[in-house]
């Protein structure tokens, strides 16, 4: 199932998402549908361990190249394939830039698993998470970030 078409996340939006999620140094972030790696690169810059998963090998290659160029590979794990390959891993933050349908499919599956992390923070861009009540919502234009 395709969860979303590729649409690059602007770095300013990625930084705003991670700030909203309260991502801290040493925490683990999962970016489902990581695309060209903008969100995972920004997370790694903050000192987090960033795991990016995408079904398109060419996009994962671009993410790897982005993180290599920035010297972030020691803080990044990239997986070509379905998010289910890493769903048993422990994460503090899950970042999603999927369609609403994609968000529902991924979260129903991920949240059905018991988590050793006491709290998972989920942040999304553009599309809703209808099964969850938001704690915070921020709407902005890219120029405002």
CA distance 55 to 61: 11
Which of residues 134 and 96 earns the better pLDDT score? 96
- Confidence at residue 139, expressed as pLDDT on a 0 to 100 scale: 61
At 113-133, the pLDDT tens digits run 665 556 778 777 665 666 666
Q: Which domains, from first to last, does the chain contain?
A: 11-144 (3.40.50.150)
- Confidence at residue 70, expressed as pLDDT on a 0 to 100 scale: 97
pTM of the model: 0.81
- Confidence at residue 100, expressed as pLDDT on a 0 to 100 scale: 73
Beta sheet of 93-96, edge-to-edge order: 76-80, 49-54, 28-32, 93-96, 121-124
Residues 6+ apart with CB under 8 A from 130: 100, 104
- Confidence at residue 86, expressed as pLDDT on a 0 to 100 scale: 79
């Amino acid at each position: 199932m395709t969860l979303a078409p590729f649409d690059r996340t602007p770095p300013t939006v990625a930084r705003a998402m991670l700030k909203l999620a309260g991502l801290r140094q040493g925490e683990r972030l999962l970016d489902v549908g990581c695309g060209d790696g903008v969100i995972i690169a920004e997370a790694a810059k903050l000192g987090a361990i960033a795991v990016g998963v995408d079904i398109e090998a060419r996009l994962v290659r671009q993410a790897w190249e982005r993180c290599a160029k920035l010297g972030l590979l020691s803080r990044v794990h990239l997986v070509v394939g379905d998010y289910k390959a890493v769903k048993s891993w422990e994460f503090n933050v899950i970042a999603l830039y999927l369609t609403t349908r994609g968000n529902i499919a991924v979260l129903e599956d991920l949240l059905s698993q018991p988590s050793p992390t006491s709290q998972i923070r989920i942040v999304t861009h553009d599309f809703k998470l209808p099964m969850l009540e938001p704690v915070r919502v921020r709407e902005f234009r890219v120029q405002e970030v």
